[in-house]
A and B are shown apart, each in its own frame.
Chain A
Amino acid sequence: AQTVTQSQPEMSVQEAETVTLSCTYDTSENNYYLFWYKQPPSRQMILVIRQEAYKQQNATENRFSVNFQKAAKSFSLKISDSQLGDTAMYFCAFMKRGPLIKETSGSRLTFGEGTQLTVNP
């Protein structure tokens, strides 16, 4: 079974500054995906960024980037130039990838407990 741990229940940052959210996971799988989702008060779970475990290059999406350390099973999210709209709960999530021989369909996401990020003006 997989577990995902987010050790920072709450974080705050000043607008325009940079913040890093931590995530560690435990798995015996070699092929998997990692995700960061944000959930604002509206409850809509929105995909922020995705990382394939076989890729060594860290994923980036505009102001969002990750530091993926496979050996250490660490997957942190860096938000640059923080904006007020970034205020939300951020969840780290793990998903096992299906076998390469058969393109299996989606699998369950295992989420961490979340980090509440507040961006202050």
Chain B
Amino acid sequence: EAGVVQSPRYKIIEKKQPVAFWCNPISGHNTLYWYRQNLGQGPELLIRYENEEAVDDSQLPKDRFSAERLKGVDSTLKIQPAELGDSAVYLCASSFGLAQADTQYFGPGTRLTVL
């Protein structure tokens, strides 16, 4: 079974430039999560999708961050414009979305460096 796929693995951009990350969850997983992990810290949730609906985006900086999951499968997270403080690892995770199977499975992440 394929795991959560993310691309790119690494991205280096200059500040004020736009950037986008892509995630394809495990097949059959209805719930998709985007987390941000700063250096030396645990991940923090940015947004959670149930199918194509964003149901928890309270931590997403909406002035510069946007996300979409149009067909309820893969998802894109965008930052525009990027700031120096956005340098972090962006992790995507997915789960079945049922209480008895709430375990989240993570992708390898995208390491973003903003210069």
* Contact between chains at A114 and B106 (CB < 8 Å): no
A109 with B45: in contact, given A45-B106, A97-B99 (CB under 8 Å)?
A: yes
Number of interface residues of B (CB under 8 A): 32
* Contact between chains at B102 and A95 (CB < 8 Å): yes
Residue B28 at the chain A interface, CB threshold 8 Å: no
Residue A15 at the chain B interface, CB threshold 8 Å: no
* Contact between chains at A44 and B41 (CB < 8 Å): no
* Contact between chains at B97 and A105 (CB < 8 Å): yes
Q: How many of chain A's residues touch chain B, expressed as a range?
A: 20 to 34
Q: Is the interface of A mostly helix, strand, loop or mixed?
A: loop
Residue A68 at the chain B interface, CB threshold 8 Å: no
* Contact between chains at A113 and B42 (CB < 8 Å): yes
With most chain A CB atoms within 10 A of its CB, the pick from B42, B45, B89 is B42
A26 to chain B, nearest CB (A): 15
A82 to chain B, nearest CB (A): 22
* Contact between chains at A91 and B48 (CB < 8 Å): no
* Contact between chains at B103 and A47 (CB < 8 Å): yes
**15 A–B contacts, CB within 8 A, in A order:** A43-B108, A43-B109, A45-B93, A47-B104, A105-B98, A106-B31, A106-B33, A106-B48, A106-B97, A108-B33, A109-B35, A109-B45, A111-B42, A111-B44, A113-B41
Taking Cβ atoms with an 8 Å cutoff, the residues of B that contact A are: 30-31, 33, 35, 40-45, 48, 50, 55-56, 89, 91, 93, 95-100, 102-109, 111
Taking Cβ atoms with an 8 Å cutoff, the residues of A that contact B are: 4, 33, 35, 37, 42-47, 50, 91, 93, 95, 97-98, 100, 103-109, 111-114
Kindly list 18 other residue pairs between chains A and B, CB separation below 8 angstroms, not including A47-B104, A105-B99, A108-B45. Answer: A4-B42, A37-B106, A44-B108, A45-B106, A47-B103, A91-B42, A93-B42, A104-B99, A105-B98, A106-B96, A107-B48, A107-B102, A109-B35, A109-B104, A112-B42, A113-B40, A113-B41, A113-B42
